[in-house]
Amino acid sequence: MTVLTYDTPEELASAAADRLAAALASAQAARGTASVVLTGGRTGTAVLAALRSAPLDWSALDVYWGDERFLPAGDPERNETQAREALLDHVPVSPDRVHAMAPSDGEFGDDPDAAAEAYAVLLAGVPTFDVCLLGVGEEGHTASIFPHSPAVLETARAVVAVRDCPKPPPTRVSLTLPRIRTAAEVWLMTTGEAKAEAVAAALAGASEQDIPAAGARGHRETIWFLDQKAASAR
């Protein structure tokens, strides 16, 4: 595990974007293609915006999401919408390689379980991800896996519907911790003093049931990107 600390959220976003560009370019050089799992939130979106100018082969990049708010297509609260505005609408990524989770007005209608199952079927042909980007919430949630929720206890399924989330919107679709751990590298990125206690607990080895972010690990590398405030309780 590596912990990287930056003075400001802006420095964090720039450094994470540079490192992500290098990681994806290395994967493309080795195999001709690369894959990344995106996250939402202020920090994740800032990283994507900083990635726009990266000299990547955008046509050889597969894009996935770690979780999604189960809302209509184009809703500004959807992680997909934010990612498109920050990055995907500005680079020549191949549309058929952008693998968004279904919206609540999509082909599965208002059925998050069907949306989750369909995404799991899609991922069945994807044995690993090169980099999985994740955020961390004030109570230690990551993706849409909240403490002591059914999602954090899941050991078999790759993707689950999440209901009654303590943060709005209440219904979401999320990768599970076992599926997150198939990524070669997992990067947890968070800023602000409100996250400090959860970060400190995760880094101290807290139970993933108490602090789900503690269970998010890459099989090759796990990197925490923090600003000084998020790192202040360590």
CATH number of the domain that residue 205 is part of: 3.40.50.1360
Distance CA 177, CA 151 (A): 8
Q: Is residue 10 part of a domain?
A: yes
Range of the domain at 186: 2-227
| Number of domains, the chain | 1
Residue 232 counted as domain residue: no
For residue 62, is it within any domain? yes
Termini Cα distance of the chain: 15
Q: Could you tell me if residue 180 is inside a domain? A: yes
Domain presence at residue 233: no
Domain membership flag for residue 111: yes
Residue 110's pLDDT band, with cuts at 50, 70 and 90, is very high
Give the pLDDT band (50/70/90) at residue 218.
very high
Burial class (CB in 10 A: 0-12, 13-18, 19+), 135: buried
Who contacts 5 (Cβ-Cβ below 8 Å, separation ≥6)? 226, 227, 228, 231
Over residues 95-120, mean pLDDT: 98
Distances (CA, A) of 219 to 91, 168, 169: 29, 31, 31
Percentage of the chain surpassing pLDDT 70?
A: 100
Instruction: Using DSSP, state whether 48 is helix, strand or coil.
Output: helix
Q: pLDDT of 35-88, one tens digit each?
A: 999 999 999 999 999 999 999 999 999 999 999 999 999 999 999 999 999 999
In a domain? residue 209: yes
Residue 234 located in a structural domain: no
